[in-house]
Structure 1
Amino acid sequence: MKSSRSQWGATETHGLPYCIQNPATNRRDPMTIISSFMGLYDKIKKYSTVGDRSGFFPVESNRTVLDNTVIRLHKSPGLPLPNPTKSFWLLPESPLLSNIQSQKLPESADVIVIGSGITSTGFLRELYRLNPDLNVVLLEARGPCTGATGRNGGHIKEGPYEEYPRLKSIYGNETAARILRFRLRHLEELKAVAKEEGEDCLRESEVREVTGTDVFFDHEVMNEGVSKFQEWKRENPEMGREWGFWDQETTRKRLNIPTATGAIYGPAGALWPYRFCTSVLTRLVSSHPNLKIESYTPVEDISFDSSTSTYTVSTPRGKITSKTVIHTTNGWASHLLPGLRGKVFAFQGQMSAQEAPEGLPGMGEQYSWSFIHKKGFDYLTQRASTSVTHPDGTATQIAGEMMFGGAWASTENMGMDVCGLADDTKLNYLAAAHLSGLLPYVFGSGDDSNGTRSWNGVKVKNMWTGILGMSADGLPWVGRVPTKVSTRNQPKKGKTEKGVEMGEWCAVGFSGEGMVNCWGSATALARMVLGEEVNGNVRNNEARIRAVKGEEAVKGWKDEKLEEWFPKEFVIEDSRIAKANPLDLVGALMGF
């Protein structure tokens, strides 16, 4: 998700739920919408604080769509379900990791990590870089990295100009800029990690830098976007030096999109996220026999013994103890951390892999695309072209698959039905129709002016759903988990004999922007668990996001202190917990 519009995914008015129609006219008039929203605002506020919730809502048959949404946001997402939809990114799964298990579950560990994906991968890589002697057990309910990391869009892309006005209004210019620098810097960091991991990781992950484009199809929407872009670039010239705007003619020519009205462009990246992570994990497992990955081992319960300052983590395969437990479960986080219900919640997204039409030039090594609509947006990357050699010795270039996702704005009830939905075993049929049919419209149906391109018979190879972890205040939740979140007692602050801080820790709630939040958050979390603090005293001369010709290379996160690059606003604090409320998100979803 990309923006105040796209970050929150506001949808078209024809998708308004029946519960906010005018009952007298059966029409969706503005005053009824506003009145209903204000009633919902009060209802969520009360529901978030009331102790006994029995009888708070009407009986199920009389509940509105909004009633049911509020209830879902405050319920446990449960455990990841078996037999999820099949993602293209997982074909095939890693032969080493797909069913990896110890013959017997270890009885104890220095650190237990719950949930596998890009966050746990980044955490383990940094943890072992700093302390290679730790015994770590990674517990995963399904196959490693088959959750959101194996189901997303493959983008490394931040839309800073869209995020900036909201962040500035809440935190001020300096903090907003620091948060955006952190996100933008993920492109350089992930490229550097793949290079450090070696040729296998570079090849398998297909990590590449592209020009990211936000393509507009409506002049009013474009003017709004350009206004935000100009404000951001004017107030942050160093950050925006590689960003620009193409007019209608330039956009149509460069991107082969005959219906575009213009585009904002800037540096971005694309990759195969599942293979990126499994490549790193494979190397870690091979290099560190003290790392155990236990697939198909869901965590059912966590208990704490105050007399020994020890956690007991229960699974169907047995129990395991540790003084340090890490949660990297994102959309499922509140199942084991009840205090995050209503703060971090599941959200069902949808993706597809489509064959490129015959004759379409392969542009996936040059561009990625976001299609910005009046309400909502879609996102597209394209895999690299491949060469097919024929028996006569001639070769044909075949454009790579179009990895196309989004469509949230096309689902029923303003997308409310997918808020709080932690089910990735089913497709949303309206999202499926949208994703199956939009590309021919965007790129133009029929033949192009050269008579070489046809959009007839576009084939959807795979379509799948995945679960995002949405944050009520739009920022990730990173750091030590307080008692009010875990609802368990906690040990006194202190380190184990191995130099690890005791307690529960987490990095969750990336709001669909994991590729520009997870790796840095995971790196920071590993440093926190080993004792480094985030005090917020950021130096004025923050490191640049990227180097340009003639400059020294940008230092990596591993070479800097946390206070120099990690936003303290991501850290879990009591004041933030008290303030964060899904009513802010719901309001933005509805356009208020």
Structure 2
Amino acid sequence: MPPSPLPVANPTASFWRSSPHPLDDYRSTSDVPSKVDIAIIGAGYAGVSTVHHILDICKCRGTAPPNIVILEARQACSGATGRNGGHLKPDPANRPSSLAVTYGVGIASECAAFEAQNLSAVKKTIEDESIDCEFVLTRAVDALMSDAICNKMKSGFDMLRKLGVSGIEDVHFAKGVDAERLSGVKGAKGCLSYSAGHLFPYKLILHLLSKAIDSGVNVQTHTPVTEVTKSPDAEGYFTLTTPRGLIRAKDIVYATNGYTSSLLSEFADKIVPVRGVCCHIKPTKNPAPFLPNSYMIRWSDTKYEYLIPRLDGSIIVGGARSEYYHELESWYNNVNDDLLIESAKHYFDGYMQRVFHGWEDSGAYTSQLWTGSE
């Protein structure tokens, strides 16, 4: 498999980036720095949170922070972080049940605990930093839409309870009429509910990025890294090549997600970019029908959607995978998020009316559709 190309120049616009932040195209200096202690490649969740924690550790220790540059190929937070569904959803049941069978209880518990702790850590950071990013702590509901997927999830849930896997105590299972009433999803055969959250990811990352800039971090948008030397030079520095010049760095953080193999070719068949579809749905009825939870709507192992309710009554929904899953070249090993996946572009029309009780007369319509590479 060939290495991933770099991000495309003109991606489809996501809802989160409808109103660009003043730092969207920011460059701390007119030229890239010639030498730094740490180069962070990527200005999304991974890259910006890494910088946030480095600065926080230095502050706690009372030491001077290292010289850091953040390099972003496009605008700030324009990759997967700025193109996702805004869901902070641990998976305490589905993934751990598979992991327990394949790798044992210890690994299943470790992964489940990590995801649950991440939710708490994000909540704490948002509250400690007073970040206005529309964060809501809620319950996620996995609505199980067929007998097959319901029986499979119930079997996994029972196994995890018996094994005492971490986090399963937060999960509630309901079946039949109770599941449909609890979830509000038409025809749900069963459902699982557990702690989760949702937020406005672009606002979170741009807040942390602004704080990093105030702390002296150099940020360079529209500066893709095209090559990195494999070994450090005699002084211990790697050289990063960009269209705007060379940068020497002692340490490099590859916060590059699906684009990693463009710089580290050894990951070409291990980290593969894939495309997903996401949309923003607006009801015309005011007030909008109340949706108290975030959701996974599981029809099968390959057909599912995820969605969050926004505080203004609109909905973010991602998925439609079943519409294009068979067209491998349209989504697998593909970074072309400047194009829509044609077979899925009408999937979300009337989605809320079809799936949820109480939305039949909402007038909900798809106001925006986008794809993203992950």
Considering the TM-score relative to the shorter chain, is it more than 0.5? Answer: yes
Picking from 302, 314, 321, the partner of 1:408 is 321
1:155 deviates by: 0.8
Deviation at 1:453, TM superposition (A): 5.1
Map of 2:52 onto structure 1: 125
Mind listing any 5+ residue stretches in structure 1 that lack a counterpart?
1-73, 386-399, 469-592
1:436 aligns with 2:358: no
TM-score computed with the length of structure 2 as normaliser? 0.92
Deviation at 1:310, TM superposition (A): 1.9
Query: Of Structure 1 and Structure 2, which has the larger fraction of its residues in strand?
Result: 2
Does 1:240 find its partner at 2:168? yes
What's the offset of the Cα at 1:327? 0.6
CA deviation string 1:91-133 (max 9, x = no partner) = 2121134333411211111111111100011110111122342
- In the alignment, what sits opposite 2:295? 369
**Contact residue 239 and residue 247 of structure 2 kept, 8 A:** yes
Among 125, 132, 136, the alignment partner of 1:208 is: 136
Supply the distance in 2 between the matched residues of 1:370 and 1:208 (Cα, whole angstroms): 17
2:243 equivalent to 1:316: yes
Deviations 1:232-265 (A, max 9, x none): 1221266222211123323333433232222111
Structure 1 partner of 2:104? 172
> Contact between 1:161 and 1:233, CA under 8 Å: does it hold in 2?
no
Give 1:252's match in structure 2, choosing from 162, 165, 180: 180
User: How much has 1:166 moved relative to structure 2?
Assistant: 2.4
Root-mean-square deviation over aligned CA pairs: 1.9
Partner Cα separation in structure 2 for residue 108 and residue 321 of structure 1: 5
Q: Which runs of 4+ in 1 moved over 4 A?
A: none
Residue pair 2:273, 2:373 contacting (<8 A) in 1 also: yes
Q: Which has the higher contact order (CA 8 A, sep 6+)?
A: 2
Measured in 2, the distance between the counterparts of 1:191 and 1:295 equals: 28
Distance (Å, rounded) in 1 between the aligned partners of 2:41 and 2:8 = 16
Q: Is the 8 A contact 1:243 1:266 kept in 2?
A: yes
- Structure 1 residues 416, 440: closer, same or farther in 2, change over 3 A? farther
8 Å Cα contact 1:207/1:270 also seen in 2: yes
Deviation string for 1:481-511 (max 9, x for gaps)?
Answer: xxxxxxxxxxxxxxxxxxxxxxxxxxxxxxx
- Cα distance in 2 for partners of 1:216, 1:307 equals 58
Please give the alpha-carbon distance, in whole angstroms, between the structure 2 residues aligned to 1:170 and 1:238: 17
List gaps (5 residues or longer) in structure 2: 59-63
Q: Could you state the TM-score of these two structures normalised by the residue count of structure 1?
A: 0.59
Tell me the residue number matched to 2:283: 356
Percent identity of equivalent pairs: 25
SS at match of 1:435: coil
Q: Does 1:160 align with 2:86?
A: no
The aligned counterpart of 1:139 is 71
Cα distance in 1 for partners of 2:163, 2:226 equals 49
Q: How does 1:40-439 map to 2 (within 5 A)?
A: 74-131=1-58, 132-198=64-130, 201=131, 204-236=132-164, 239-286=167-214, 288-289=215-216, 291-303=217-229, 304=231, 306-358=233-285, 360-363=288-291, 366-374=292-300, 375-385=302-312, 400-411=313-324, 413=326, 415=328, 417-439=330-352
Contact 1:405 1:435 in 2 (8 A): no
Helix, strand or coil at the partner of 1:110: strand
User: Which amino acid counterpart does residue 430 of structure 1 have in structure 2?
Assistant: S
Residue in 2 aligned with 1:14? Answer: none
Whole-angstrom distance in 1 between the partners of 2:222 and 2:160: 45
After the TM superposition, which residues 19-30 of structure 1 pair with which residues of structure 2 at under 5 Å, given as runs?
A: none
Which residue identity is paired with 2:78? T
Is 1:354–1:402's contact at 8 Å kept on the other side of the alignment? yes
Q: Secondary structure at the match of 1:224?
A: helix
Tell me the distance in 1 between the aligned counterparts of 2:304 and 2:290: 22
1:361 Cα deviation after fit = 2.1
Which secondary structure state, in structure 1, belongs to the residue aligned with residue 168 of structure 2?
coil
Residues 415 and 230 (structure 1 numbering): CA distance in 2 closer, same or farther, change over 3 Å? farther
| Counterparts of 1:261 and 1:129, CA distance in 2 | 46
- Distance in 1, Cα, partners of 2:238 & 2:212: 25
Q: Given that residues 233 and 239 in structure 1 are in contact (C-alpha distance below 8 angstroms), is that contact kept between their aligned partners in structure 2?
A: no
Superposed counterparts of 1:496-511, under 5 Å: none
CA change 1:166–1:238 in 2 (3 A) is closer
Question: Are residue 461 (structure 1) and residue 367 (structure 2) matched?
Answer: yes
Whether the 8 Å CA contact 1:357–1:453 is kept in 2: the answer is: no
Between the aligned partners of 1:270 and 1:187, the Cα distance in structure 2 is: 10
From the superposition, tell whether residues 96 and 414 of structure 1 become closer, same or farther in structure 2 (CA, over 3 Å).
Answer: closer
Q: Can you list the C-alpha shifts for 1:310-365, whole angstroms capped at 9, x where unaligned?
A: 211111111111121111001000000000010111000110001035254232xx
Rate the CA distance shift 1:380–1:117 in 2: closer, same or farther, 3 A.
same
Distance 2:116 2:207 in 1: 23
Contact 1:357 1:454 in 2 (8 A): no
Tell me how far apart the structure 2 counterparts of residues 172 and 282 of structure 1 sit (CA, whole Å). 42
Secondary structure, aligned partner of 2:16: helix
For residues 16-48 of structure 1, the C-alpha deviation after alignment (integer angstroms, 9 at most, x for no partner) is xxxxxxxxxxxxxxxxxxxxxxxxxxxxxxxxx
Contact (CA 8 Å) 2:109, 2:166: kept in 1 or not? no
Please list the CA deviations of residues 193-245 of structure 1 after superposition, one character each: whole Å capped at 9, or x if unmatched: 001112xx1xx211111110000221222111111111112212662222111
For residues 179 and 240 of structure 1, the distance between their equivalents in structure 2, rounded to whole angstroms, comes to 12
Instruction: Assess if the C-alpha contact under 8 Å between 2:348 and 2:366 holds in 1.
Output: no
Which amino acid is the alignment partner of residue 314 of structure 2? E
Measure the CA separation in 1 of the matches of 2:103 and 2:305.
28
**Counterparts of 2:8 and 2:165, CA distance in 1:** 46
Distance 1:322 1:302, change over 3 A: same
Matched pairs, number: 366
Contact 2:144–2:299 (CA under 8 A) maintained in structure 1: yes
- 1:165 Cα offset (Å): 2.9
